[in-house]
Amino acid sequence: MPTPPRPVITIVGGGFAGTALAVQLARQPALKNAEIHLVEPRPVPGPGLAYTARRPEYLLNVRPAALSLYPDQPAHFADWLQAQPEAAHGAPDFAARATYGRYLNQELSTLLAAPTAAGHGIRWHNATAEAAEKQSGGSYRVQLSTGETWATDYLVLALGNFAPPPPAGPDLAYLAHPGYHPDPWAAGSLRRIGPDESVLLIGSGLTAVDVLLALRHDGHRAPVAVVARHGRWPAAHGPATAHYPNFYAELAAETTVAGVLHIFNQHRRAAAAQGLDWRPVLDCLRPDLGRIWANWPLAEQRRFLRHLSSLWAVTRHRSPPENAAAIAALTASGWVQLHIGRVREIEGEGDELRVRVKACTEAINAWHTAQHVVCCTGPLLDYSRIATPLVQGLRDAGHLVPDPLGLGILTDAHGALLGADGRVSATLFTLGASRRPAYFESTAVPELRQQAAVLAQELAQRVAQWSGESPEGVRPATAV
Ligand SMILES: Cc1cc2nc3c(=O)[nH]c(=O)nc-3n(C[C@H](O)[C@H](O)[C@H](O)COP(=O)(O)OP(=O)(O)OC[C@H]3O[C@@H](n4cnc5c(N)ncnc54)[C@H](O)[C@@H]3O)c2cc1C
């Protein structure tokens, strides 16, 4: 009797989300015979963009208890950390991001090295996926930068975050200036900055905090200007022990931003009366943020993005207290000089860059000059502007549709991509930041590991029903 063909699953992107999916796929008995490919161009798979950084001053933004790779084993990372040299004098409250990268790589390596007891073996391709073309049966042919190709029955995009878009236009000549740093995470970018050279950062979020700490660590002496629209630094984490009871039931019927804010503020005042600040009030809603977002019509989501997203960014995405204290001290010393306004124009002038900043409330323009300008405005999320060959190819073919708010990709509840013809793909899936249109908060470890676990179960179920032929490629649209 001929052996039935093995289902083929391909994960593009071997950062946190790709790793979380790989470990979950390996737990699925129904996928025992599946051929699983992981495509990741970094020399070490697992850490991805956030946790590849080797600098010890780059800390995790959350405590170890929130960082397990496995949603059903919440203490997994904290226990692992206890056994590491970093915990010789007690586990750090906020470990280095590189330590977490090592954890992810170790967990993934056990699957890459040899098939597990359940029979799973995952093949890592140290390359970039450059194209995925739909075949007549509904499968996709993946093509790598190495020239290797294969047909896959399920293709999962776990592409992570893309470098920030240009912060000013329309003249983009400054992008080619040697003093302009479009991506603070690009290897060696900050090492090009001399200790006495003038620096201007655009943005004051977590990325700017990291860049300031890295410059300080490198012995940078010249003052650093920071230009930000609202001039807010990320809030510091409070004590891990503060808790407030979940009140989602009161918000479940709210379809406006104002309605949600009203109820939130009532609870904020109630918490204050108990001696608690806003942090635990916000944190108790964390599992429900996606539902609150999804309950808002598009106009309300747009309203939130216009008026509250920058406040949200600094309250929801917090700094370790030691980082917040360091920034406060650097600002008080005058080394960091914060300017509030929007960057409107950047132009090269010899070795320097001139940056025009417009104050938010008045029609005042100020010109700042610096030898280095570092863009810390956060990742590009808008898939209509992402120009990597894989994304562009899928988008041009109508298999990947950017959402109207510029947050990510249109998907159904399982992360299956919605095509330009309005139908949900049975082959293409995504997880991670690309699913922000559905959840808004689709950024951090707790959300991503959950998405990975659910998607692995979903793929296992589909494979279990698999007839041995490729899925037909599309099925009628369900919830998006
Ligand atoms: C600097 C930084 C710090 C962060 N700190 C924290 C934190 O402390 N706690 C927390 O919970 N969250 C943190 N986050 C949020 C972070 O986004 C998630 O925790 C998580 O790392 C995202 O995982 P990901 O797999 O989606 O993206 P990534 O880990 O970036 O992985 C995506 C991978 O896809 C690969 N890729 C892209 N295109 C292709 C292609 N065409 N072919 C093959 N491979 C491709 C990339 O090389 C990359 O490695 C941080 C984010 C950043 C940027």
The confidence score (pLDDT) of residue 263 equals 97
Is pLDDT above 70 for 295? yes
User: In angstroms, what is the span from residue 21 Cα to ligand 1's centroid?
Assistant: 13
- Ligand 1 nearest atom to the CA of residue 210, by list position: 1
pLDDT bracket for residue 3 (50, 70, 90): low
Nearest CA owner, ligand 1 atom 3: 50
- 159, 317, 381: which to mutate for ligand 1, most atoms within 8 A of CB? 159
Beta strands 149-152; 154-157: pairing state: unpaired
Is pLDDT above 50 for 87? yes
- Fold designation for 8-162+381-475: FAD/NAD(P)-binding domain (3.50.50)
Cα angle, residue 91 at apex, residues 240 and 320 outer, rounded to 5°: 45
The CB of 16 under 6 Å from ligand 1? The reply is yes
Contacts of 479 (CB under 8 A, 6+ apart): 412, 413
Closest by CA position to 233, among listed 308, 310, 305, 168? 310
Which H/E stretch holds residue 345? strand 342-349
- 161, 213, 318, 390: which to mutate for ligand 1, most atoms within 8 A of CB? 161
- Ligand 1 nearest atom to the CA of residue 59, by list position: 8
Question: Percent of the chain, pLDDT > 90?
Answer: 80
The CB of 234 under 6 Å from ligand 1? The reply is no
User: In angstroms, what is the span from residue 45 Cα to ligand 1's centroid?
Assistant: 11
- Fold designation for 173-235+318-375: FAD/NAD(P)-binding domain (3.50.50)
Write down the H helix ranges in 197-239: 206-217
* Per-position b or e across 255-287, b if 16+ CB within 10 A of its CB: eebeebeeebeebbeebeeeebebbbbbbbbee
What mean pLDDT is reported for the chain? Answer: 92
The confidence score (pLDDT) of residue 114 equals 67
User: In angstroms, what is the span from residue 474 Cα to ligand 1's centroid?
Assistant: 29
- Ligand 1 nearest atom to the CA of residue 20, by list position: 25
CA distance 425 to 124: 25
CA distance 181 to 428: 34
User: In angstroms, what is the span from residue 161 Cα to ligand 1's centroid?
Assistant: 6
User: In angstroms, what is the span from residue 303 Cα to ligand 1's centroid?
Assistant: 27
The CB of 204 under 6 Å from ligand 1? The reply is no
Most confident of 26-30, 102-106, 226-230: 102-106
Contacts of 179 (CB under 8 A, 6+ apart): 348, 351, 352, 353, 370, 371, 372, 373
User: In angstroms, what is the span from residue 104 Cα to ligand 1's centroid?
Assistant: 12
Nearest CA owner, ligand 1 atom 26: 160
Determine contact, residues 174/347, Cβ cutoff 8 Å.
Answer: yes
Q: Which two tokens stand for residue 182?
A: 């479009």
The confidence score (pLDDT) of residue 4 equals 60
CA distance 52 to 31: 30
The CB of 386 under 6 Å from ligand 1? The reply is no
- Bridge partners of 339, per DSSP, are 227
CA distance 421 to 304: 29
> Residue written as tokens 């190709």?
149
Least confident of 125-129, 191-195, 361-365, 460-464: 361-365
The confidence score (pLDDT) of residue 118 equals 58
Is pLDDT above 60 for 357? yes
pLDDT bracket for residue 310 (50, 70, 90): confident
Is pLDDT above 80 for 186? yes
Is pLDDT above 60 for 318? yes
- 16, 42, 388: which to mutate for ligand 1, most atoms within 8 A of CB? 16
- Ligand 1 nearest atom to the CA of residue 128, by list position: 42
**Domains 8-162+381-475 and 173-235+318-375 belong to one CATH topology:** yes
Contacts of 422 (CB under 8 A, 6+ apart): 477
Q: Is the dihedral of CA 450, 455, 461, 463 positive or negative?
A: negative
Q: Where are the domains of the chain?
A: 8-162+381-475, 173-235+318-375, 248-312
Is pLDDT above 70 for 362? no
pLDDT bracket for residue 424 (50, 70, 90): very high
CA distance 124 to 105: 12
The confidence score (pLDDT) of residue 478 equals 35
CA distance 15 to 158: 8
Q: Which two tokens stand for residue 443?
A: 């950024």
